[in-house]
Amino acid sequence: MTDKLYCYCCRNYHPAEQVVLYETKVGKRWRCLRSIQAAQQPSQIRDAAGRQQSLENRARASQQARNSLQLRHSSLAFA
C-alpha cells in the first residue's frame, strides 16, 4: 500500500496522482481531488456527496466488523 496515500477527508487510500497536499487548521494533510471538487459544489450537491460518502464508510466499517467477527469465531473453533 506504499504507492497509495490516505485522504483524511474521505478516509480512503488513493493513488498518489489523485491526491494533493492540502492545508488544514492543524497542518498539511493529503486530500483526494474528488473531495476537493465535491467541496466546491453548491450545498445541496455537497450534502448529497457527504451522505453518499457516509453510506460508503458505514458499509466498509460493517464489512470490517463482520470479517473481524468471522476471524475471531474461526480462531476459537481451532483452539
- Alpha-helical (H) ranges within the chain are 33-39, 43-77
Region of residue 65 (left: phi > 0; alpha: psi -120 to 50; beta: else): alpha
For the stretch 1-59, pLDDT in tens is 568 999 988 888 999 999 999 898 999 999 999 888 888 999 999 898 889 989 998 99
pTM: 0.58
Instruction: Give the pLDDT score at 79.
Output: 56
Domain locations in the chain as residue ranges: 1-40, 42-79
One-letter identity of residue 74: S
DSSP secondary structure, 65-78, as one string: HHHHHHHHHHHHHT
Residue 78 pLDDT class (50, 70, 90 cuts): low
